[in-house]
Amino acid sequence: MAKIDPRGRKVKILATLGPASRSPEMITKLIQAGADAFRVNMSHGDHETHAETIAAIRAVEKDLSRPIGVLCDLQGPKLRVGQFAGGKAVIRHSGHFTLDRDPTPGDENRVCLPHPELFGILKKGQRLLIDDGKLRLKVIEADENKIFCSAEVGGVISDRKGVNVPDAVVPVPALTDKDRRDLAFALEQGADWIALSFVQRPEDVAEARKLMGGSETALMAKIEKPAAVERLEEIIELANGIMVARGDLGVELNPEEVPPLQKHIVAMTRRSGKPVVVATQMLESMIESPAPTRAEVSDVANAVYDGADAVMLSAETASGAWPVEAVTIMHRIAAQVERDPGYAERVHFTEVRPDATTADALAQASATIANTVKVEGIIVFTGSGSTARRVARERPSVPMLVLTPSQRIARRLALLWGAHPVVTKDIGSFEEMIAKGKRMALRHGFGGAGSKLIALAGVPFGTPGSTNLLHVVTLSGDELKKHTSAE
């Protein structure tokens, strides 16, 4: 079995694949540069292309002997205006503009809004944001057939531009017909994570979960609507992870509201022990430039200081000119932040309290021991991944070597802070646990002769959710010699 080199950082990197990066050669380069998992954006491309992309990821995974997570991101119910005569029109600043149900091509005075669910729910004073907020309309009057608005910010509007409704919960299903087809496809392809877009309420997550049936695939709720923030705790409870999707969130909120909200979402998700990903425009300038701006570097660093489990690259790796460089820079930023002497204090600004269970108490104890005794890492034996999540919630000072018999769990943990997942056969006794833990620690670079490690497991072995054992082990010189000769 090939050695999987630890990254030298605990935060994970999620990179989006696209035309610039979906070949096996580029996927290999991105992994070597620091990517831990890949996002497949279902908003673009067809199922045949996505199937080829996922197959390429799995081929690289096998070649490198490294569990690689695959996240399929559903498009969600994106609202759009209709078409214009000539393809575009100019809405006069401070003028009037009407959105109606007439399919006739639009002009500078009106356009069709092919979403009947919006008519009748909007009230005077509410806003409509078009083309990522470049145009801003305020409702003067609305009924079942038209929405009469004043243009707070006018400009050029063209066919099929997106519409955001920040001041109302839009009565649309969380999953469109396309999303349902894409979800079924992603499950067939063995995706490790499904990202649910434009979540507004916990019922949206429950609906997706119901459609997924008994699938073991994890569900990540994307927070990009103000309505979702109001019910964040309930959404976190139902989801397996959370993504701070700052694109649409930044459109629907004032810009200055997004940074504190990002910190709030990250902190709440961390307290739950579930992974949280910070996404969108992190290194946006690197779509065209080989180097990021100083502001972008600070943005990535800020998410790492907040203790996010993963940071995400979108167009930077999917269609940009410098995909490998973008991953390399993100890796370097994260590694540098984690070397900062003040990092540990900052990452623990978020107070995390363990649940009243033996497993949580032991996870907290392992982090405390790691801060008290010089240890190289925490070895976690897990069948479901729950013990690894409990330890990660404590944000210990050392990385985790997560040993699991489940390839699916190992892939899912590719997005978990500090986790270095390895697929290995299950253990059957305490002696086997110690021997295998030491052997895997040496194989994967977790210390040398004389190094101490913490081992966490559950007795009886192979029983999910039974974590009740913590043991400190020391690697001996003889074990190192045996390992070296075996290599």
Q: Which of 124, 176, 171, 179 is nearest to 147 (CA)?
A: 124
- Please give the Cα distance from 49 to 295 (Å, whole number): 35
Supply 189's token pair: 């392809």
* 373 and 472 Cβ atoms separated by less than 8 Å: yes
Given 9, 39, 225, 411, the catalytic residue:
39
Is 484 a catalytic site residue?
Answer: no
Q: What is the Cα Rg of the chain in Å?
A: 24
Q: Which of 166, 188, 328, 177 is nearest to 252 (CA)?
A: 166
Q: Which of 113, 131, 130 is nearest to 121 (CA)?
A: 113
Largest CA distance in the chain: 82
Backbone phi, then psi, for 304, in 5-degree steps? -70, -45
Is 408 a catalytic site residue?
Answer: no
Given 29, 78, 80, 452, the catalytic residue:
80
The residues, ordered by sequence, that sit 6+ positions from 24 with a Cβ below 8 Å of its Cβ are 56, 59, 60
Given 12, 161, 222, 393, the catalytic residue:
222
- Please give the Cα distance from 184 to 339 (Å, whole number): 42
CB neighbours (10 Å) of residue 46?
9
- Please give the Cα distance from 107 to 158 (Å, whole number): 10
- Please give the Cα distance from 25 to 84 (Å, whole number): 43
Supply 73's token pair: 């991101």
* 244 and 278 Cβ atoms separated by less than 8 Å: yes
Sign of the alpha-carbon dihedral angle for 221, 224, 225, 226: positive
Is 368 a catalytic site residue?
Answer: no
Given 16, 217, 269, 280, the catalytic residue:
280
Is 280 a catalytic site residue?
Answer: yes
* 218 and 412 Cβ atoms separated by less than 8 Å: yes
The residues, ordered by sequence, that sit 6+ positions from 18 with a Cβ below 8 Å of its Cβ are 41, 44, 45, 315, 317, 318, 319
Q: Which of 417, 410, 414 is nearest to 15 (CA)?
A: 414
Give catalytic residue positions.
39, 80, 222, 280
